[in-house]
Structure 1
Amino acid sequence: MKKILFISTALLATLTACEDYNDQFNIGSQISDVKKGVAIKLEASDYAAVANNATNKEVALSKDPENGTYVAALEAIGKNRYFASKTEAEWFLPAFITEKYPQADAGSRFSVSYNMYREPSTYLFDFKNLKEYTLVNADYRNVWGETATATYLSPSTLKKLPEVLAAKIDKPAEGDMVAVNYAYSEFEPSAGGGSVIPMVYQQVTSFDGEAGNYVIAAKADDGNYYPFGKLDKESNNYGYMNPAPITVGENGVIANADGAEQVVTLGKTEKGFTLLNGWSKYIYMSGTYNSFNVSETVPTEGAEWVLNSNGDGTFALKNVEKDKTVKLTYINDKYSYGCYPESSYAYFSDPMTTETGKFSIKDVTLPEGSTYVWKIDSYGYYKGSAYVGGKNLASESYVVSSEIDLSEATAPVLSFNLALNFLSGNKATDFFQVKVASDYTGDVAAATWTDVAYDASGIGSSWDFTDQRIDLSAFKGKKIVVAFVYKSTDACAPTVELKSTLVQEKDAKYWDVCLFKEVAENEVEAALLRMSRASGAYANSSALYVYTDGAWVEYSKEDVNVLVADPKFYAELGTEYVSKPSVIFPVYLTQKFPYAAKGDQVAVVYKNAADADPIVEEYTFNGTWAVSTNYSTRTTIFEKAADGSYTAQAGVYLDEALTGGSDGGFTVQDVALTGVSYVWKSDASYGWKASAFMNNTNYETESWLLTPAIDLSEAMAPQLSFEEAHRYLNGNPISEYMMVKVSTDYVDNVETATWETLEVDETQWSDGQSWNFYKVGPYSLSSYVGQVVRLAFIYKSSSSAAPTWEIKNVLVNEAE
């Protein structure tokens, strides 16, 4: 069904009506004073006009000259675009009306519709102390105890979440709330007995310091993985490792048959880990050699190792004492492991996952209201953005490397991983540049910079990292610094992410290791969760818990829907927070609640910043999902007295003559139009008129005439009356062609709102034989006391009758 929504009826004045249409309306030409019965609907700019009105400032100051309470309240009206109370509206709207209509006569009446603050849903106060906690491996061990080694929760262990929170949340207060992220699988791990479930080795992309069994292997340029851990012979005590390749299957899983003999056990130490290979020998380093030693007992020298993520799925396995890193290399026609100082394999290397001192940030222009552009993100990369407080802001900031010595370089190459999003169709190189300088001394403005080209194709609209390689041969023989430069404007402030910066020879063959964690074969599904970028500590699910009466319980409240954005949701977004909730959540909620009814509400718990606690925001369904407003529309009638002052009319909620050129703030929504371009029209002499008779033909139509919002929040016994005239029903019943309905939830679409038909006494109505107006009513509206309502005058026509209906002097007031 086609719907045509008219926000204003002003356009109707431009239409040329046919002769028989005008005749049927019996249109006159008398126009009354437009200053009487004026309907005003405050627009966004009007609230600022109210707040800046000089008279209002005097009024506000006079009410509390010492503390300025109402001066602040007046300023808030302009900022919030709503009044905090009906009293405020009655204080400050008269001066606004006077400024807008300075020549209004005594007795002039103005019906003003405006926004007034509405208390949020009471349950939202439950979320005032909201935090987040993500389970780590130690939590899973405590949950399972000796029964299993699973790193997830299952149906049988979900009930232990309160115990986890009790152990982890220190001194909780009554009402504290926690959004808990955890890994979940329907599969119950083996608890002992029965057949033995084989162990496999699942590749992981993050390492949380958990000791245990791993296969450590590096992927070479031939596409094969080579395991680390064993010398060429079990009897050897020292040397390089020259392994044969190992098979890595689907989803990064090494089968038990291939991996069991290559296991390296990580044992926790004060500074890192010991490495115990499959021959039960500890791997260590001695002296200045780049080879390995092994021993059946833990040696006192060079036996502690650390693992640091490179941010690309590989890890730097470093010897703590020797400050050397394990590398797979290709030498003497074979792939071999050694442990080398950085100078052996690179001129510069920094994974950029944490602060190492190898890069420094130099801000040229900071975005207004922010203290930084670049930061190290919690997920392990440098992140640059000047999108602050929902706005694009101008900025310029450098990330500058420490000195890189290319004095003996032959064909140096710079490589790094780059992701760029929210470029909005702009040119990448206008907002992100890579520069090199050989005279940098700490001042980016004083250095001489050379731009070096990177591959800007295919970036700008996703979080996918791209592999960048830049030839630095032009700088061989020099000592240089590399700078990554972020720029933004008030029109575009993209987000840039950087990691894994490396400068080495073009043909260098050195590879870092990957980790394959030992898991039961039936736990591979859960282990795969850790491959997700935004999965936290393997998490894929979330729950909401509240501390009450000395215990943690899952939050639940009757008639309240709560949706917690879980790690899977963030993984789908490719980010760890939601920067544009008004765009994301309406789509998400539509998928989650496909059968939502009008007025349904959902509290959405989510993170709006990477390092912030979660927040809660309520969404309401009115045909589509949108953030619940913190105001409702109210209407107050003001009348000008002889002394020039205005008085709010107590007990009068709507009083519109609808003549004299005033449309009363009524609006039209056409549900069906056939053969005519409009049905309702405002006339200076006869009020609102409707007809679908054109060119001597009755056309089928349906059109709604809607009043402004009518505030009955303080009413006691409200009633409706109006005057109407109609003709040309052709013997058909009034109730099928002319109706009056009431809604308490109308927003902008009559078909999605809930309407109740007002029972009318048709004996009061016109007999349809003349153009005489009849006063109908009053009809009680007492069932709507305490609410804000809309009235609708509904016109319908058919091929057998297209009557003319005229309405004026619509009054909603208190019964005497």
Structure 2
Amino acid sequence: MNTLIKRLTVSLFITAGLLSSVSCSSSDDDNQSNVSQDPEKLALVQEGIRRVGIYEQDINQGYLLSSVREQEKQMVEDHLHWIKVALYRLKDDLESDAAAAMLSVRVNALSNQNAGFQDKDNDSFRDLIDFFRGEVLQSLNLAFFRDLFAEEFNGQSLGGFSNVTVKSSVEWKGDAGGYAKVTAFGQKTDVEAWLISPVLDLTGIIDPAMTFRQAVGFLSTWDGLELKISTNFTGGDPTAADWDVIPVEEKPEAGGQNWQWKNSEEISLDSYIGKKIAIAFHYVAPQSHQPTWEIEWLRVKGVGKGDFTPIPLKLADGSKGGDNGNGETPAPNKTFVKRLTPGAGEIYYKALEGSVADLGFKEISLKGKYVWRAYKDKNDGNRPVGLSMSGFNDNSGDNHDWLISPVIDLSNAKDPYLQIVDRIKFLNNNPLSNLKVKVSNNYKGDPEDPAVTWELLNIRGNSPEVDKFVVSGKIPLKKFIGDTIVIGFEYEGTSKASISWAVAEILVSE
């Protein structure tokens, strides 16, 4: 049984546990909606039920999936069944966490399976997936399959990971190439070094899983290079904690060509649901075998509501935090402080320190799997300091997303202007036109509606500063005096131009 089938089988059991009591009947007697719920949201749920029914009919009549294996066809039918079950549950209760989680899991599983379909089948199911991700889940402010934690090891940094040496002075280090690296090459003693993540709380998380990317050199055996997980490590000596060795099937071959990057399979963390875990790369090298091990990135994903915040390790004597090599935990180097000071002329001000929904903003995803979300400062205890969008990933594909502000009332304004604080990373000579700030005075909920007019604002000029938060100039809004407006942040990216954009503050004043 391959990894995908294993994951889908797990999803089936999760579905049964969450929604075993839910009937899929469409009878009004069996499914009486709560009339006090938002009618627009209920209409979206009802539309989802209708669309799933059409897809089920098209499969039965042979219009879809006529050329795929029967096993794959049955998997799709299973996903559609449980999507519909979740939708009926949401029809009764839009606040149902169980239904929201199951809808998220099943839409993601369908998306994963759809990646292997061709032409008409792929296009057709992509439309359904985009509908659920871009309209239903976003409109209901429901979380879907997303990164809970990611470390890219950029900037010669170990980021939120901790470096613990047990034998010798050899330790993990951040490399300028954008990865963490350890090697015992040339050492005359045995070496043992640990690279350990922050603590990740999987309480309330559905279907968690992790992936990572690694390369090795001078490796004759994988003995001594292990991925491990602990539920009782909080810092200090890792040998004093209990660790599970996690098997990895997809990895470079021992004795094979050096420095071949390899992505792991998706490794299920279901057995750790409800627990707090630390993930470690444990390196042990005797004098007789001194390989080099490199980790480019690690990602943990799952389904949950609200923000997910890693818990920094409280390092004890004998451990090393981040890149500090002297056994001390370095003091935080805060990268963000508020830069705008609202005055007497303030019309609207918001420091974007929270989730999209909590701040009253709207995230609209038109293309791709990445969305606007809270940007957290790793150098300041993962404090939320803005909202960010990035398609950065080896296989990110195209992304097109909007972030829409709450309505701003300029009916009594005399000389209004707009200022923002934002940061751009990984520009890499890509066009600034991929990042747009716009204003509309007739926005109705769909930024792509041809009837909506958008005014493009020149926020940065032609030579923007990158890799740090900067304050824009004052952009006049005189033409909107007497109107109500929204500010729209439009992001477009491709697999070759995946710029990272974070917006920290918005001020409308005069």
Q: Which bracket does the TM-score occupy, shorter chain normalised?
A: 0.3 to 0.5
TM-score by length of 2: 0.35
Structure richer in strand, relative to its length: 1
Structure with higher RCO (Cα < 8 A, 6+ apart):
1
Give the number of the structure whose alpha-carbon radius of gyration is greater.
Answer: 1
Structure richer in helix, relative to its length: 2
